[in-house]
Amino acid sequence: MSLESLIPMSSYAPSEIEPKWQAAWADAGTFASERDESKPKYYVLEMFPYPSGRLHIGHVRNYTMGDVVARYKMSTGHNVLHPMGWDAFGMPAENAAMATGGHPSDYTYNNIAEMKTQMKPLGWSLDWNREFATCDPAYYGQQQALFLDFLEKGLVYRKNAVVNWDPVDMTVLANEQVEDGKGWRSGAEVERRELTQWFFKISDHSEELLEALDGLDNWPAKVKLMQANWIGKSRGLQFSFSLIDGPSGHDRVEVYTTRPDTLLGASFVGISPDHPLAKQLEADNPDVAAFCADVRKGGTTEEALEKAEKRGFDTGLRVRHPFDTAAELPVYIANFILMDYGTGAIFGCPAHDQRDFDFATKYDLPIIPTFLPSEDASTEFTAAYVPMKSEKVYYCKGFAGDDWQTGDAAVDAAIAFCEENGVGHGVTKFRLRDWGLSRQRYWGCPIPVVHCDACGVVPEKKENLPIELPYDVSFDVPGNPLDRHPTWRDCACPSCGAAARRETDTMDTFVDSSWYFARFTAPGATTPTSAEDAAYWMNVDQYIGGIEHAILHLLYSRFFARAMHMTGHLPETAKEPFDALFTQGMVTHAIYTTKNPQDGRPVYHYPEEVELRDGKAFLKEAGTEVTVIPSAKMSKSKNNVVDPTRIVAEFGADTARWFVLSDSPPERDVEWTAAGAEAAHKHLGRVWRIASDIAEDTSSASDADEALLKEMHRAIRDVTGGIDSFGFNAAIAKLYAFTNALSKSKAGSAAKRTAAMTLAQLMAPMTPHLAEEIWALLGGQGLVIDAPWPQVDEAMLVDATVTLPIQVNGKRKAEIVVGADASKDEIEALALSQDAVQRMLDGGVPKKIIVVPGRIVNIVI
């Protein structure tokens, strides 16, 4: 035995390979992006992270998907922009400051440094030269400049809006800080309170934001549908009920309805507790005031309002029905009517609206049907009758149009009739509300305006930007530290120079994330964007992020792009900033739990404490059986968070990257399993071994060469198609199949080398380090990332014969192999001659034979 054979054979060692190639890319400046008019540009962007300080496996999946696209586009000759930054303002930093006494700024920048350290080893093709955090004064100063331009253009205004008010902590709470209508710290019952706040006029753009959805061909249909429903365009009738003996200044109640065809079924009028009439009554009547105060308890979310028990207060006031003048309807203040939508007042038709039906039942109001499923009027109503508007129904109390007509037709007819008779007019309304951007918090972008006793609200001068957050603040008491800072609020009025006060509200963090994609095109510009860079790099060709952002972030960004165009910061072509959108699923992980024997409460165990035997899970130390909750969202408190840093240390970045892409379709959730990660690692080791063997192979050409090369071209076709269509899991399945074919092939060394180098190229977007290593091992020129993407030779995809399944009455009975150019008659004859078919026919004649060329034959008997 020679000494050499005692030395263990070298093996796949990601800890050596990965830093080496990362250094090689850095040395070559591979990912630094600059304008280059000679190449087509490609801008790929993943939603930037909140710097929590810990990289999450979900981030790994998100950024690896973007990385696959970026690297693939680099290989197809594109000048790729793939930047990274930090969505760095927000509540967690303030909460941390309150909990630990630190400063939000220190907390945030430490987290950024920490997370960046964890991100680097993953080998993502990011251009770190363009990095910024939204809490950098250089960034938010430009955001303040945008705000001032929007203000000047009339895109921003002030009005009153309700917030969650914690009466004990004397502070405004976020929705997530309200639990069951109570403040999360104080436990006090939250009240809805009005404050004057800043708003973006997004509702002016409702129609356009809705219509432009049609042009977003590369957005998921579900996201467009959700946005369309959110914008909520509706056509209806707006008209007034005249008020009988109303308080002074109130002689009518203006209502909006999308179902004017049910007007003769009205049995009450409901107004929002925030309606001017309700406020007037509240001031005069202690009972009304008590009811309104009670209704204002609890949070402000639509969910809370909708789920709350439907309650009303009979004001004693009556209105006259516009058509049935004998009828008087009671006016209720009702807790389920929103002041923000329509006119803040409705009429209730209990027969055709379940909510109104419940309300009428509760307060003993009449239920008057206006249409029925048949002309038989004797049916008793136990629930509201709400057919599809496209369904024809019989109008027993119609006042316009035919007796039998669809709801849609009846609405149109009713609006026309009402307009002719001077009862209101048809109007189009949108559900979309203006975007309230004021936050009564420290850790956000200061709103650059000044309050002057003489001049009112005055915009800050641009040369004074950025209005920086003061560092010397404390978080020992609840509330906004800017409000109680001794000097920061004090300033001179930009208009008259008199002593004035700064606005202490900061901006919603959605503002920060509504234009960062534009800033990445010129992160150092002394204006929000640079015209040349924006023109070259915009739009984002591929945007990737979580489905949880389907509505708000994406809608706000679409609005911002329009507003930035109106103020000269983006070209017209960038009004829809994201050409293609992909929404990826979460990474989940099983939760392992046992019950505490004392109190029966769940105890959560780390995956490392658990071992699996016979399909069951047990605690390693105690041997106790553990309950497994599969596919749960990762949560620190449930001890089921997978730490990418540990995975990279154990298996390498390529394994982590390969696994998060391999098992599930990218738009769906993927469950992280230790077994899956190990399997991915084994496979990469196998690829490495196969390539190493091929590097030393010297066999001559064989008749297996062509089969291998045909397999290779099929792999090129399928992997390329998989990446193009975000079918990463399917692409990886093809790579497994191709690797199996390569491993079993008896082809000569030249063909195998070609196949293995192509395999390296096809794997490079997913496992770039291993791909570079194999490429170098097999004598590839330069870096694999610089090599042009392999091309399919169509001639290599053609097969001489094709296998067709034969069905009888839609069930597969046999299979035939025919020439690729076989005629229909030949195929029919061969299909009929099959034993199984003859048996089924039993001497009879088929009724019909369907031949789908290249696909299937179906014989109907």
Report the Cα 716 to chain-centroid distance in Å.
Answer: 31
The number of residues that bind RNA (CB under 7 A) is 95
415: three-class secondary structure by DSSP: helix
623 binding RNA? (CB under 7 A): no
Whether 783 and 700 have beta carbons less than 8 Å apart is answered as no
730 binding RNA? (CB under 7 A): yes
Restricting to residues 256-275, which ones interact with RNA according to CB under 7 A?
none
Contact segment (CB under 7 A) with RNA among 210-218, 372-380, 567-575, 734-742 equals 734-742
Restricting to residues 195-214, which ones interact with RNA according to CB under 7 A?
195, 197
643 binding RNA? (CB under 7 A): no
Restricting to residues 92-111, which ones interact with RNA according to CB under 7 A?
92
Restricting to residues 226-255, which ones interact with RNA according to CB under 7 A?
226, 229-230, 232
Restricting to residues 414-453, which ones interact with RNA according to CB under 7 A?
431-433, 435-436, 438-440
By CB under 7 A, name the one of 620, 633, 636, 746 that touches RNA: 633
Instruction: Count other Cβ atoms within 10 Å, centred on residue 287.
Output: 12
Phi, psi (deg, nearest 5) at residue 447? -80, 120
410 binding RNA? (CB under 7 A): no
Angle, helices 768-777 vs 749-763, to 10°: value is 160
Restricting to residues 763-822, which ones interact with RNA according to CB under 7 A?
803, 805, 807, 809-813, 815
Give min distance, CB of 341 to RNA, in A: 7
Whether 738 and 668 have beta carbons less than 8 Å apart is answered as no
Helix (H) or strand (E) holding 271: strand 268-271
Q: How far apart are CA 733 and CA 493, in angstroms?
A: 66
Contact segment (CB under 7 A) with RNA among 105-113, 285-293, 776-784, 852-860 equals 852-860
Contact segment (CB under 7 A) with RNA among 29-37, 76-84, 486-494, 627-635 equals 627-635
Angle, helices 768-777 vs 674-696, to 10°: value is 10
Nearer to RNA by C-beta: 197 or 529? 197
Give min distance, CB of 202 to RNA, in A: 8
129 binding RNA? (CB under 7 A): no
Restricting to residues 655-684, which ones interact with RNA according to CB under 7 A?
663-665, 668-671, 673, 675-676, 678-679, 682-683
858 binding RNA? (CB under 7 A): yes
Who's near 634: CB < 8 A, 6+ residues apart?
A: 56, 57, 58, 586, 587, 588, 589, 640, 641, 642
549 binding RNA? (CB under 7 A): yes
Who's near 580: CB < 8 A, 6+ residues apart?
A: 218, 219, 541, 542, 543
Give min distance, CB of 625 to RNA, in A: 17
Contact segment (CB under 7 A) with RNA among 2-10, 170-178, 279-287, 324-332 equals 170-178
733 binding RNA? (CB under 7 A): yes
Give min distance, CB of 428 to RNA, in A: 16
Give min distance, CB of 690 to RNA, in A: 8
Q: How many helices (H) and strands (E) does the chain have?
A: 26, 36
Q: Produce one character per residue of 4-39: b if its CB has 16 or more CB atoms within 10 Å, e if not.
A: eeeeeeeebebeebbeebbeebeeeebbebeeeeee
Q: How far apart are CA 126 and CA 120, in angstroms?
A: 9
Contact segment (CB under 7 A) with RNA among 55-63, 88-96, 402-410, 567-575 equals 88-96
46 binding RNA? (CB under 7 A): no
Nearer to RNA by C-beta: 21 or 435? 435
Whether 340 and 433 have beta carbons less than 8 Å apart is answered as yes
Token digits of residue 221: 């249909």
Write the interaction track for RNA spanning residues 334-353; mark x where CB under 7 A is met and - where it is not: ------x-------------
273: three-class secondary structure by DSSP: coil
Give min distance, CB of 309 to RNA, in A: 11
Restricting to residues 822-851, which ones interact with RNA according to CB under 7 A?
836, 848, 850
Nearer to RNA by C-beta: 86 or 536? 86
Nearer to RNA by C-beta: 92 or 571? 92
Q: How far apart are CA 15 and CA 533, in angstroms?
A: 38
Cis before residue 597, ω within 30 degrees of 0?
no
